[in-house]
Amino acid sequence: MRIRFLGAAGTVTGSKYLVHHGDRPFLVDCGLFQGLKALRLRNWAPLPFDAAALSAVVLTHAHLDHSGYLPLLVRNGFRGPVHCTPATLELCRLLLPDSGHLLEEDAEYANRHGFSKHQPALPLYTRADAERCLRYLRPTPFDAPIELGGGVRAELTPAGHLLGAACVTLRTDALRVVFSGDLGRPHDPIMRPPRPLEAADFLVVESTYGDRRHESGDACAELEAVITRTIRRGGVVVVPSFAVGRAQFLLYCIERLKAHGRIPAHLPVFLNSPMAADATELYLRFAAEHRLDARECESVRRAAKIVNTVEESKRLNALRQPMVLIAASGMATGGRVIHHLKAFAPDPRNTILFAGHQAVGTRGAAMLAGAETIRIHGEDVPVRAEVAALSSLSAHADWQETLDWLRNFRTPPRCSFITHGEPVAADALRQQIERRLGWRTHIPEHGETVDLAAFANAGTQA
């Protein structure tokens, strides 16, 4: 078996692992690159393999940095099955067409206002492309065997992190390879913890927070403090948020804060993402995967007014009253939230609040680093608003939580490949695994191919 690391190597986005068993190729994850322009350009580059020759794709979960390249894969000739959990299928039905729609909307806006260097600006893919790829998704429950052909079987086990998120185990008669996907946290207020795994010959493990420990504070209390001081200034709290996962947690906190009188019950809260509203419905359908009961799911659904149309979204930008405005995308890379940033970031009364990881090269990372302006639609927009982050809110395990999960393995994998992290984070996790567990590790480079048998033999000889 060989693995070629075509994404999430040296970066936290673009998860894409090309696996060969004999002459049979398939993918684990098929994600988009985000952040730095040099990374985003990889989305436009020709594929370094024949999409039509792939036998299958296995998804860990639905976030776009793991699933968002599927429309292009199908456009390039892929016609095989895309295996995933039922919840991942339902989320992809929301996320992928919405992604295509936003890409078209951004291209149309660029052409209308003439700020693109490309004439005309084109979307990476369209909503039609995204809807076309959905016909190839094949839902499989957790723990059910998936026959990939050529003597390879796959199995999906709960990873926490997000509805439907899974660790992927590939098995042959002689080999077991585990891909962690994105690991959730053991004490997440909403999602259940990742299931422990006990055996792997080789492991591919994420390192998003490989250099950090999450603070143990109460995220709802942090949110309360941000909202309280902002509304005292007469300002607006703008939250760039991932539409699936973090948006629901924010609504959960807001509902609790209002119910206990910790923020004003009449404070307007807007969810400017119809897709996020649809995703909230899925928490009722997949109740076994999270900690919320039916009453709590209903209260989350009612915690905000849903903004459906572009016209409604534009009207919000004209409001100058205290409110909470949650809108995609989580790293402020596109979508409706960037229009809200243009409207509200220049006003010091307001707060821009981030609720998830900000990849290098994104507007979110720039603002958290203290940028005085951000580039939006060819303009430099002043950032005079307060910029804050919920430090105790993350859907990814930190290095200590990752090590605690790894300690469940009965014997060390022959090698643990550390991916899906910025270079500093990946190297920090490498050091923790080597020093505290004594395991052999390797940080692959983008495009690197590893022959697992040869790699294991070389390690044994060394």
Peptide bond into 120 cis (omega under 30): yes
Share of the chain above pLDDT 70, in %: 98
Residue 401 CB partners (closer than 8 Å, separation 6+): 183, 185, 186, 214
CA dihedral (256, 262, 268, 273) positive or negative: negative
Share of the chain above pLDDT 90, in %: 71
The pLDDT score that the predictor gives to residue 459 is 56
Q: Which CATH class is domain 219-389?
A: alpha beta
The pLDDT score that the predictor gives to residue 129 is 98
SS3 272: strand
Tell me which of 214 and 60 has the higher pLDDT. Answer: 60
Q: How far is CA 66 from the centre of its chain?
A: 7
- Report pLDDT digits (tens) over 434-444: 999 999 999 99
- Report pLDDT digits (tens) over 273-297: 777 778 878 988 999 999 999 888 8
- Report pLDDT digits (tens) over 152-183: 999 999 999 999 999 999 999 999 999 999 99
Fold of 2-212+395-461: Metallo-beta-lactamase; Chain A (3.60.15)
Instruction: Evaluate if residue 461 carries a pLDDT over 60.
Output: no
Q: How big is the CA angle at 68 (ends 55 and 223), to the nearest 5 degrees?
A: 140
Domain extent listing, the chain: 2-212+395-461, 219-389
Which tokens go with 57? 């794709």
Lowest mean pLDDT among 35-49, 102-116, 234-248, 347-361: 102-116
DSSP assignments along 157-221, one per residue: EE-SSSTT-EEEEEE-SS-EEEE--S---TT-SSBPPPPP----SEEEEE-TBTT-----S-HHH
Average pLDDT over residues 42-54: 96
Give the pTM.
0.90
Tell me which of 458 and 72 has the higher pLDDT. Answer: 72
Average pLDDT over residues 178-192: 94
Q: How far is CA 1 from CA 7, 21, 60, 167, in A?
A: 18, 4, 19, 19
Average pLDDT over residues 21-34: 94
Q: How far is CA 292 from CA 296, 305, 332, 354, in A?
A: 6, 21, 28, 23
CA-closest candidate to residue 41, choices 11, 5, 75: 11
Give residue 325's pLDDT band: very low, low, confident or very high (50, 70, 90): very high
Q: What is the mean pLDDT of the chain?
A: 92
Tell me which of 113 and 139 has the higher pLDDT. Answer: 139
CA dihedral (145, 409, 57, 55) positive or negative: negative
Give residue 458's pLDDT band: very low, low, confident or very high (50, 70, 90): low
Q: Cα–Cα distance between 440 and 412 in angstroms, integer?
A: 8
Which tokens go with 29? 């994850």
Residue type, 109: Y
Instruction: Evaluate if residue 330 carries a pLDDT over 80.
Output: no
Lowest mean pLDDT among 46-50, 211-215, 348-352, 413-417: 211-215
